[in-house]
Structure 1
Amino acid sequence: MKTSLKSKIGITFVVLGFISPVFGLIVPFLGFNTTITTSLITFFLVGGPEVFLLLGSFLAGKEGVKLVKGKVKKLFGLPEEDYAANSSQYRIGVICILLWLFLIIFPGYVPHFFEMPLVRENLFYLSIGTDLLLILGVFVFGGNQMVTKISEIVRWEPWKLPEKKVKN
């Protein structure tokens, strides 16, 4: 399968999303002032991976998503073609996605969450863990059903309001 330049750029952004937390470890050694260092580390650990993954998925399109999906499945020893998940696999996938969503949103509502010693010392592992939860939930446990449902969420479809019944 020949891959377009747009898909290759998108896949590059997806890969960058996965490895950007590593850049957060390199930033302190670059000699920037404290404000810039803190901002860059925060971006590379907290917001950057999600931005890169989202941008990459838009650029890669369906072709790139299929290519990455096949590679991820191969990595976990799953068949590259579409497969149906059983009900327990699907439920585990939904739990992984909900847990990922909670871990991404919750810290924003807790003052000084990133200043807690346990979180501050393990932020890199927390970031990688949350990204892995999403990947596991969608690609590994969710099967083709999960990918189909997620694609239905972002696809626009015309919708008509139900007709009102007139009372006589």
Structure 2
Amino acid sequence: MQAKNSIKYKIGMAFIILSITCPLFSFLVPLLELPTATTSTLVAFLMIGAPELLLIIGGALAGKEALESIKSKLFQPAGKIRYQIGMTIFLCGILSNWILIYLELTGIMMLGRETMLVIIASIDIGTIIGIFMMGVEFFEKCKRLFCWEGMNNRK
């Protein structure tokens, strides 16, 4: 087991954190006004390629214990308050996206393209945070939505 204050562990954890936050930087790429092909390539790399690559490097440097520690903290059961806050953030994100799109399509809101991109990206990030706040319980409920239980299994 590696010491948590070794430089190798700290660099590995930095790579792991960067792999988690890397897709967030893809929302900034269109603001750079690069050619379309370059923009598409950079967004694809930041969304798909870089997180996996950085996670592998970070895992190799930080060690198995660090990855298990992160996994146990991320997927711990959510309490009632945490679940309700996550559900509120999740539902507010979905509803505000729908409302924002309709307001924009009807011409009520006259925002620029970049402004809309930042607003929608912020709402989407909030929605994803809400999903993770609800924890494993939410994913179990979603899984049950797609399983046939039949009339005999109802209570």
User: TM-score, normalised on structure 1?
Assistant: 0.46
User: TM-score, normalised on structure 2?
Assistant: 0.49
